[in-house]
Amino acid sequence: MSPSLDLEALYEAHASALFSFVMNLTRSEADTKDCLQEIFCRIAAKPALLERMREPRAFLFQTAYRIVIDQHRRRSVRERHGEDSEPLFASAANPDAENFRRQTETALAELPEDQRAVVHLKLWEHLTFEEIARILDISANTAGSRYRYGLDKLRTLLRPIYEEIK
Amino acid sequence: MKDSFEEHLSKLQRTEVPSHWREEILTQALRERSNSTIFAQEAGNFWTRFFGPHPLAWGSLAALWVLIAVLNFAGPHDAQLYAFSGPAPTLQELTLQLQTTLLAQGR
């Protein structure tokens, strides 16, 4: 047991990014909270899990992704689709920007989960394909192609609103 | 290299973690930490209680097992114990001779 692990500092440093990533995958605040809770409980019980890691955030994303996959396996498709979608991005004062935000959330929900994970880590965490590949346990080429497929789909879905506000 | 569409997307501000989650998550995590510490201590205590009162007896038992293991490895192995030796080839030879004789007699 390592008393040196500062859970509060860990929470301050990573909870926001983890929240956003998991919310994008689950679209449910309740599931996101369960996931975050599980991550911090695992680390609290076995701090050595994290201490061996050179990149704690990558390890946390990887753990979060695995927990989300497990959550989804335990549930039926009907249960997942029945969930209300929670906001992913902060509301904007400008009506056009607000409309773009809402449509982006809807478009993201249409991406398969594996593409959504890559798109999120690339666009909002600014990770490289190599880093994403390590987190999702795939090759860098796969990460790259999933990103391109996902982005192309977003581009198609958001083209009308994007052309309007550009 | 991001294009303007990607740049536009990446500028969207993500929502923040609800503030009341912090205390709930950390409280539960700290409880988990203390539970696992208690479990580890109890596991340690169990072995101390088990072996502690009679160290000489447990030490002797361990030494006895070591002795048994040494004797087991030092003694003849199964292959040597059951190795074919002595009379059996003679019996085979006799049987062969008998068969040869019978064949020679044309029976």
- A42-56, A70-84, A113-127, A144-158: which range is least confident on average? A70-84
**CA of A20 vs chain B CAs: smallest distance (Å):** 6
**CA of B44 vs chain A CAs: smallest distance (Å):** 13
Which of A29, A89, A158 is closest, CB to CB, to B14?
A: A89
Residues 6 or more apart from B32 whose CB is under 8 A from it?
Answer: A41, A44, A45
Nearest to B8 by CA among A129, A104, A145: A104
Residues 6 or more apart from A11 whose CB is under 8 A from it?
Answer: A40, B22, B25, B26
Whole-structure pTM value: 0.70
**pLDDT mean over B58-74:** 90
Return the higher-pLDDT residue of A3 and B99: B99
Task: Provide the 8-state DSSP code for A94.
Answer: S
B20 Cβ under 8 Å from any chain A Cβ:
no
Quick one: A80 exposed, middle or buried, by C-beta within 10 A (0-12, 13-18, 19+)?
A: middle
Return the higher-pLDDT residue of B58 and A78: B58
d(CA B29, CA A152): 40
**pLDDT mean over B21-49:** 80
Q: How far is CA A82 from the centre of its chain?
A: 20
